[in-house]
């Protein structure tokens, strides 16, 4: 399990997004309030952003966020209109390593996942490998269910005559449900293609992990925030509906639909 956050709006610094909020991911790494199945997020962290040329970038560190001596200088130096970040609590028996630390990146796509898939290690990993395009499968460098989910989204986008990232994301959730039977999966995603952010709050045979949206945060005027837990004390934080997908556009508009 992890804690996730994202921002889309006018350009801001990494510091303003990641370090300034009173209950931002720094505090959520050691004092989460709504996380099930773990009490701390000390198995790495990472963030992703887009340059002015819309090139996707990531920074990942398998150590706890509070131990990174580079973060303060990075926070002051980096600016973007779109940010994704997470702090990680690794699901046993998955290892702690840079290759297993999100966000995952491919071309212009950034991907994060909060949750898990039951029976992934011993049963479903093989189903993924059978399903995936060989080139996409060969690009998997880590061992997490999260990276395999990202690969399945890309496979669906490429091979299923799917016209949009949101449709590929919904079909990915449906495919996992088809494979699981009575097993459990928690599927909170945040995905970006530089133009929009796709968010899911979803679970199969289980309770959806917490996820919130704020479209009226005074500290982030004209911006939209997504987070596993409210990052500020402002009143604008609203829970995203369970079993839904939200599409956030660069112009500040957004829409929600059922998965």
Which tens digit of pLDDT belongs to each residue from 68-120?
999 999 999 999 999 999 999 987 656 789 999 999 999 999 999 999 999 89
Q: Where are the alpha helices (DSSP H) in 189-232?
A: none
Query: Does domain 2-258 sit in CATH 3.10.690.10?
Result: no
Residue for token digits 């091979």? 159
Question: Residue 42 carries which DSSP code?
Answer: -
Question: Residue 122 carries which DSSP code?
Answer: I
Predicted pLDDT at 124: 93
Backbone angles phi, psi at 166, to 5 degrees: -65, -40
**Which residues neighbour 148 within 8 Å (Cβ) at sequence distance 6 or greater?**
120, 125, 128, 140
Which tens digit of pLDDT belongs to each residue from 118-141?
989 888 999 999 999 999 999 999
Q: Which two tokens stand for residue 208?
A: 């959806």
Predicted pLDDT at 217: 97
Which tens digit of pLDDT belongs to each residue from 25-57?
999 999 999 998 789 999 999 999 999 999 999
User: What are the residue numbers of the active site?
Assistant: 2
Has residue 181 got a pLDDT over 70?
yes
Nearest to 155 by CA among 178, 139, 142: 139
């Amino acid at each position: 399990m992890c804690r996730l956050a994202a921002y889309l709006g006018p350009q801001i610094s990494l510091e303003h997004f990641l370090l300034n909020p009173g209950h931002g991911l720094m505090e959520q790494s050691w004092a989460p309030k709504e996380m099930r199945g773990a009490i701390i997020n000390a198995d790495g962290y990472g963030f992703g952003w887009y340059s002015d040329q819309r090139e996707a970038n990531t920074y990942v560190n398998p150590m706890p966020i509070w131990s990174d001596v580079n973060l303060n200088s990075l926070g002051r130096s980096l600016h973007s209109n779109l940010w994704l970040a997470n702090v990680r609590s690794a699901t046993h028996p998955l290892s702690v390593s840079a290759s297993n630390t999100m966000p995952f990146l491919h071309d212009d796509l950034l991907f994060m996942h909060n949750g898990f898939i039951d029976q992934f290690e011993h049963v479903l990993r093989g189903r993924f490998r059978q399903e995936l395009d060989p080139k996409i499968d060969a690009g998997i460098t880590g061992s997490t269910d999260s990276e395999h989910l990202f690969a399945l989204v890309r496979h669906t986008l490429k091979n299923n005559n799917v016209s949009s990232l949101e449709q590929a994301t919904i079909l990915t959730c449906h495919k996992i449900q088809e494979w699981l039977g009575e097993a459990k999966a928690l599927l909170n995603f945040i995905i970006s293609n530089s133009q929009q952010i796709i968010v899911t709050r979803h679970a199969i045979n289980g309770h959806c992990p917490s996820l919130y949206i704020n479209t009226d945060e005074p500290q982030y005027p004209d911006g939209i925030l997504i987070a596993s837990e409210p990052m500020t004390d402002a009143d604008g934080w609203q829970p995203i509906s369970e079993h839904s997908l939200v599409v956030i556009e660069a112009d500040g508009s957004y829409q929600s639909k059922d998965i």
